[in-house]
Structure formats: C-alpha cells, structure tokens
Amino acid sequence: AQSVTQLDSHVSVSEGTPVLLRCNYSSSYSPSLFWYVQHPNKGLQLLLKYTSAATLVKGINGFEAEFKKSETSFHLTKPSAHMSDAAEYFCVVSAPTSGTYKYIFGTGTRLKVLA
Amino acid sequence: DAGVIQSPRHEVTEMGQEVTLRCKPISGHDYLFWYRQTMMRGLELLIYFNNNVPIDDSGMPEDRFSAKMPNASFSTLKIQPSEPRDSAVYFCASSLIRGTPLSGANVLTFGAGSRLTVL
C-alpha cells in the first residue's frame, strides 16, 4: 500500500530565506514521486517529478527535491523564497496497486511568504 | 496539446437541479481522475477510469453522483439532485501510465477546475 505524509500543514518564511517543505512516503513498490503547487483559486501544477535518473530533482521556479530511500523522504526545498511562492504544495506518490495505478496525495502544506 | 479541458469553469445552480461537469483529457492518456476540493475536506478522489472503464468509485459520496466515460476523449460527472454541500471545485486530471513506474511518463495533468456553487 502507498501513503504520503506532509509533516507541516503550514509553513511561514521570510522573503529571501530558504524554504523546506517535508514529505515522507510509504510504498510497497518503487514509487514515482511528485510535488504539485496550487496558487489561490488556480488548478494544480506540476512542480517536479522523481524518476530513477537522479535522486536530486530540479523543478520549476528554483525548487528542488531530494529522494532519500533510506529515510523514505522527498522534501521540497528552495534556497530563497519569493513572494510569488505563496501557495499550497502537495506531495504525491504513485505506484501500481492491484493491477491498476493510483496517485496518493498528501494533505498539503500552505506556504506563507512574509515581506 | 491544449491540456485537460474542463467545462463549465463556473456553475451556479439551485438546490435540486441537475449539474453536469465535462472533461476532455489529453489525447492518448489512458487514465482519467475526478477530484473534489473544498476548504473543509481538502482534495478528494471521487472516481477514476482506466481505458474508459471505471476502476474505483469508492470516493463518490452518494448515489446522487455518477460519472461516465463513453470514449477516450470525454468524461462527465453528474450530480442529481444537487445540494448546497456539493459546492466545491471539481478537478479532472489525466495521465498516461506506460513502462515502469520510474519511466517518468506518468505525470498527472490537471484541468483548471469547475467551480460549483449550489444555492
């Protein structure tokens, strides 16, 4: 079975400081992992995805995430927050299950960026 | 590609009326998902299809909700009769599951959503 836990429901950072959004996952199979971002009153947009090519994944807008199998984590980071990063972020795990495919979403982390 | 297309973008209706939401997935995608998002309950999976066949509808809240996928390029989510508690944003998403799980081909692409308000 697959599951994903986003450890913080809300994170506040000051503009220009680093961002860390934490995600832990559980999967019986080699999973695919994703981060999605949702700006207010908008749809969900893919930020980055994990494949087997590299454990450090770079996404759009300066975000990156590191896949750590030993820690079952896929934390999202950005060196310097911008006001436009204020949004909700979802960690997602997907893998085959019972002959089909499912995407399991975390409960989301709302990022607030302070001026 | 135009992406996942949903219509209508906004719908305001009165309690008891029938509501039909529409989705056109990305051409060639073999999975289609319907989600509902509210402030109280967050993002919920309602139902998903694989090759037009419903696979799991355990998230459909009640018999008032039904979904169909008559062909690979079209799906509907119907609510009849609608109630105020159905007010939410409904998202459709599609993906192509191909190769190994780590092939990178299984990105889930979302539509812009349909905002439903039931008065």
Q: Please list the residues that pair with A101 across neighbouring strands.
A: A96
Q: Are A60 and A67 in contact (CB under 8 A)?
A: no
Distance from CA of A18 to the nearest CA of B (A): 26
pLDDT-derived band at B1 (thresholds 50, 70, 90) equals low
Q: Is B4 in contact with B26 (CB distance < 8 Å)?
A: yes
Q: What integer pLDDT is reported at residue B105 of this predicted model?
A: 53
Question: Pairing between strand A87-97 and A32-38?
Answer: antiparallel
> Chain A residues with CB-CB distance to B under 8 A?
29-32, 34, 36, 42-46, 49-53, 90, 92, 94-96, 100-103, 105, 107-108
- Answer whether A108 sits within 8 Å of B43, measured CB to CB: yes
Cβ(A100)–Cβ(B50) under 8 Å? yes
Q: What is the pLDDT of residues B46-95, one digit of tens each?
A: 999 999 999 999 999 889 999 999 999 999 999 999 999 999 999 999 99
Chain A hits for B42, Cβ within 8 Å: 107-108
Q: How far apart are alpha carbons B43 and B51 in whole angstroms?
A: 23
- Please determine, for residue B37, whether its predicted confidence score (pLDDT) is greater than 60: yes
- Res A102: pLDDT: 81
pLDDT along chain A (115 residues), means of 10: 91 98 88 93 92 85 94 96 97 80 90 96
Q: Please report the pLDDT score of residue B99 as a whole number.
A: 54
